[in-house]
Structure 1
Amino acid sequence: MLTRPNTVRQAITLFVIFVAMYFSELASFSLSIDEELTAFRTDPSIWIIQGRWGAYLIERFLLPHPVMPFLTPSVFGAGCVAAYLLIMDIIDKRELSIAEYACFAIFCGFPTWFFIVEFYSNIAAVGIGLFASALALWLICKNDVSPLSRRFLGAVTAGGLAISIYQSFAPAILVLGIAISILQARTDTRKSFVKDLFRVAILLVGATMFYVIGNAVFRSFVSGSNAYFDSLSQPGFLFQHPIVVVGRVLESIGEVYGVRHGTYDNALWAIPLLLVLGGWTLLTESPYARLLLTTAAVAALVVPFGLHFLAAGSMPVRSLVGVPIAVWLLAYVAVTSGNSRIRFASAILLAVALFQIQVIQNYRQASSYLVDKHDTLIAGAIYERLSNTPGFDAKRTYVLSIFGSRPFVTNYPRPPASTVGYSFFEWDGGNPWRIASYMKLLGYSNLTGPTPDQIDSTIAHLSTMPVWPAPGSVEIQDNIALIRLGETPSYAYQQALARMANH
């Protein structure tokens, strides 16, 4: 293990790099969609329903109120630093070079992370899961151990905990295992790449079994289902439309690795060039099994998308926790190449890539800041209009029945796979429960969402009211506040209109 002074100094330096990559996130407190509901949650068993019992334990006993600034992204950063130091120790890097420090910025700051960092309720647990994944591999890779040893069982436990925090850590563990095996084989001809990879596979099987058993135990205490989570599982679609699924997966791979602009809504062309140089370095400089190591590195780029095949070819970008590891592997191989020309070109491309990543991050931060201002002003304006409406009583609690949405329009990018830049007043076509919860967070505490019967009783009048901010777009009927924000109703209100038409 690294000596203690070195470890502390390196950890501090790595965390400073993390702060540089995430300064805007650490210095702000911009709520994302869903966090207006999470902030009022008192029972974290929703994680068990999603099969994430590790996340349940973290929220239940460690972070009972995860929607908070600075601390949760800092925990993620600490997890990245700890995981990286374990990886460096496995490959016997006692003194980190500029290349190792620079590549850490990719490891912790590749843009796919941004899609999960935007959710305070997730990010701290994900940092712990990343550390648990690296710990599992450190336990079996640092020294040759038997699958029946206590050390290996500890690795299985750590890996199972990581998967229980986020199921996507299962492919991430495999990606990290491939990366470590490649780096060890690249510098030490005594290492057996196939044997190391087989050990990683045994670890993954054991960790998955540990997760499944734990999931069965926790599910026995909690009933219920999650419609969104269940909708992601569509294995039958693969057999019915295999070409469609493969096409979607290939499209996702191209976008995530910067070949296309769709995922980030910004250029990231330096990354695919860096990946090519890393692959070329493995193919030409490895002491043995060059084709095998290169093939494994390419496989590591694809493994994170394995769950896409079970989800009709589409999964949230935030689920790709293995992607930063795969990109880091090939970037690290490229910038440490024995060929000086490749090393020089890779260093330039890495610098360009980090700049492009910062552009993506800062565009996202600009969108978050502006939509936060927009929503705060809209909430204040609605409540002021409501308080000036005849019959308003500040001591009463009002049900919000809202027809339509109020979109936020900006010239800054709003990535389609993200919630960044999207208003609470437009999501779900204008969801009164989300809007009421968001306004309660801002201090407008006497508001709540409607029941289906209250929607039905107000839909007829709402559909004839003028659209906000016109006079008459806010009314009060008994304890129900009627607000028409837009022309097009949400799905729930469309159903109410249909029921009204049928009667």
Structure 2
Amino acid sequence: MNIKEYIKNYKKVFLSACLFSLLCFCYMLVKPGISIDEETWIQIEKPFAMWLVQGRWGIDIFNFLSMDQGRYAPVMWDILAILSWNAAGVLFSYTLFGDKVKKVPLFFFQAYLCSLPFVLGEMFSFSMFSFQIALGMLSVAAAFLYSVRAAQGGGKRVWVAALLFLVYAFAVYQAYICVYITAVAVYCFKAYLEKEDHLVYRICSWALLCLLGIGIYYGVHIILMKAVGTSSYLTDNYVGWFEEGGILKALFMAVANIARVSFAVPVAGETIYGGEVIRIVTLAFLIFVICQLVKEKGTARKAGVLFYAFVLTAAPFALFLALGTYKTHGRVLLGLSLAGAAELYMMLICIKRENLKKAGIAAAAYLLFLNAKNMNMLFYSANVAYEHDRTVANQVMYDIKKLGYDYHSKPVVFLGMEDMDEVGLPVSDTVGSSVFAWDDGNIARMCNFMKTEGYRVTAPEPSVIQSALELKSRMNIWPQEGSITETEESIIVFFSEPSEKWYTINQVERK
């Protein structure tokens, strides 16, 4: 069956799953807002090199082709991202399951892949690159499809096509290395259970392809860094081998992070948003593996099942194991949604008894319900933070105008932060966080956010901020009278006593 016939035969399944994924993002699409980082991109006016120094030059290519310095289109970008992610799911399912695919499990595979809040909630909250990221997912799905065909005797051109798609995906987001490894891990686990031949040859071929793709991607990245005369600022943040505690501690923390996320274990107050679904799928998969071990005969076969099951579990974290780090957010664990979707599919097709099959479908439907609920609640929380920030921005500007200060003629200095109240709503990384409290008060972000509300506020230089600090002792906390004042070089708004982080972020020396 070719891909066109596959889509035609199962179009109702894919359409149903796509409608479900749109339901998951319903609140975000109906009430779009501005999240952390987006305050810069929604009103960007000149070329910005931030993607390049992150090694994500694939996004720069897209931004160049989309014109307007990479400015995104709210809602449109989100819808295109959701559709592209669904298209990637179609390619993954076709490559993994092909002619033997079952309709009901296929729906749950596709729906779970497109609805995991910890992954997609965090990732798609950034409308500024949601479409670009989804195209990267589609690219890695195409790379996987071509690499499987190539390993089955497709020829050199198919290998080259797979490599090109893979390099572009890595250039969009390095985390797609984990997605490709996860896809291979799913294929190998399934193939091993079905006792397919020549599995070792395929694994070696795909491993070489992946390494070559990483090498080409990284080679281009080095050339670009040399050309622009800068270096990646993320390297020190994510390589953990040389941190305090040594190599063994780094390895332990990286491996422990797999268990932390897979079983949604809270650590030091940090939780996995919507983690109850991830935990249930992990536990169910563990039971599934045990059942497979009971069925298998011979120590070698049992050991093989354990090996491939562990590889599948660890695959979404592969890059972070290589870096020796546990510093992972949901938006960098894109392979987690693919692994969970595949595990759900394999568990459902293995249930033979009618009563158990109905129970399995009901349980899977309940998990999807939780995903949809959690996703919408997360974006409700994001909207509450956005409305809070809008209110603060408009009230501050009302006060500045009321005092007769001309904010067009001089920069505005925000001292400290204006935090929103804790109201018990979920927060996942940047989602649900206030711009006016991020980094304990990032002045550049605040000024950029003001522009999204229609106020052309200019960010101050560090020397101007330093001068403004000398006046804070005479001022009251906003919104009290005397919380806003004007000097010859700036307008000053006193939110709170600046913290050490505030001084660092705003590049000001504490005196």
The TM-score with structure 2 as length reference comes to 0.88
Work out which of the residue numbers 56, 68, 80 in structure 1 matches 2:60: 56
Paired with 1:281 and 1:9, the residues of 2 have a C-alpha distance of 32
Matches within 5 A, 1:470-481: 470-481=480-491
Report the counterpart of residue 374 of structure 2 in structure 1: 360
1:455 to 1:488, Cα distance in 2 relative to 1, 3 A: closer
2:84 is equivalent to residue 79 of structure 1: yes
Which of 13, 30, 33 aligns to 2:33? It is 30
Q: Distance in 1 between matches of 2:214 and 2:295?
A: 35
- Residue in 2 that maps onto 1:305: 317
Structure 1 residues 228, 386: CA separation in 2 closer, same or farther (over 3 Å shift)?
farther
Change (3 A) 1:229 1:23: farther
Distance 2:16 2:156 in 1: 35
The counterpart of 2:421, out of the listed 409, 432, 440, is: 409
Q: 1:8 to 1:495 in 2, by over 3 A?
A: closer
Say if 1:153 and 1:238 are closer, same or farther in 2 by CA, change over 3 A. Answer: farther
Report SS of the residue matched to 1:235.
Answer: coil
Deviation at 1:281, TM superposition (A): 4.8
CA separation of 1:237/1:497 partners in 2, compared to 1, >3 Å: closer, same or farther? closer
Aligned-partner Cα distance in 1 for 2:132–2:297? 39
- Change over 3 Å in CA distance of 1:489–1:450 after alignment to 2: farther
Matched, 1:67 2:80: no
Query: How far apart are the structure 2 equivalents of 1:496 and 1:259?
Result: 35
Letter of the structure 2 residue corresponding to residue 373 of structure 1: E
Please state if 1:250 is matched with 2:250. Answer: no
Q: Which moved more, 1:60-69 or 1:45-54?
A: 60-69
| Counterpart-to-counterpart distance in 1, 2:508 and 2:59 | 40
Query: Cα 1:330–1:266, aligned 2, differ >3 Å: closer, same or farther?
Result: closer
Q: Within 5 Å, give how 1:41-440 maps onto structure 2.
A: 41=44, 42-62=46-66, 64-90=69-95, 91-93=97-99, 97-111=103-117, 112-142=119-149, 144-145=151-152, 149-187=156-194, 189-228=195-234, 230-237=236-243, 240-243=246-249, 245-247=251-253, 249-251=255-257, 253-260=259-266, 262-264=271-273, 267-268=276-277, 269-284=279-294, 289=301, 291-309=303-321, 310=323, 312-340=325-353, 343-390=357-404, 392-393=405-406, 396-415=408-427, 418-440=429-451
Shift of 1:423: 0.9
Answer whether contact 1:140 1:151 (CA < 8 A) is retained. yes
Amino acid at match of 2:198: S
Distance 1:186 1:156 in 2: 28
CA shift digits 1:301-322 (9 cap, x unpaired): 2122233342542233311111
- Name the stretch that deviates more: 238-247 or 93-102: 238-247
Segment drifting more, 463-472 vs 422-431: 463-472
Indicate whether 1:449 and 2:459 are aligned.
yes
User: Cα distance 1:421–1:56, how it changes in 2: closer, same or farther (>3 A)?
Assistant: same
With 172-181 and 143-152 compared, the bigger mean Cα shift is at 143-152
- Cα distance change of structure 1 residues 330 and 279 upon mapping to structure 2, 3 Å threshold: farther
Aligned partners of 1:286 and 1:143: how far apart in 2?
Answer: 30
Aligned AA for 1:97?
K
Greater RCO (Cα-Cα under 8 Å, separation 6 or more): 2
Q: What are the Cα deviations for residues 322-348 of structure 1, in whole angstroms up to 9, with x where unaligned?
A: 111111121111111144366444333
| Contact 1:281–1:333 under 8 Å retained in 2 | no
Aligned partners of 1:175 and 1:325 also within 8 Å: yes
Q: Structure 1 unaligned segments of length 5 or more: list them.
A: none
Distance 2:505 2:275 in 1: 38
- 3-state SS of 2:420 partner: coil
Alignment check: 8 A CA contact 1:145 1:152 kept: no
Q: 1:236-256 CA distances to partner (integer Å, 9 max, x unpaired)?
A: 228715235523641453235
* Contact 1:335–1:347 (CA under 8 A) maintained in structure 2: yes
1:270 Cα deviation (Å)?
2.6
| Residues 367-422 of structure 1: per-residue CA shift (max 9 Å, x gap) | 112111111111111001101114x236x33311111111112323343x511121
* CA–CA separation in structure 1 for the residues paired with 2:444 and 2:76: 27
Instruction: State how many pairs are aligned.
Output: 496
**Does structure 1 conserve the Cα–Cα contact (< 8 Å) formed by 2:436 and 2:446?**
yes
Distance (whole Å) between structure 1 residues aligned to residue 387 and residue 109 of structure 2: 35
Structure 1, 231-240 or 355-364: larger mean CA deviation: 231-240
**Contact 1:282–1:294 (8 Å) recurs in 2:** no
CA distance in 1, matches of 2:10, 2:452: 41
CA distance in structure 2 between the aligned counterparts of 1:197 and 1:52, rounded to whole angstroms: 27
In structure 1, distance between residues paired with 2:197 and 2:366: 34
**Which AA in structure 1 matches 2:79?**
S
Change (3 A) 1:183 1:213: same
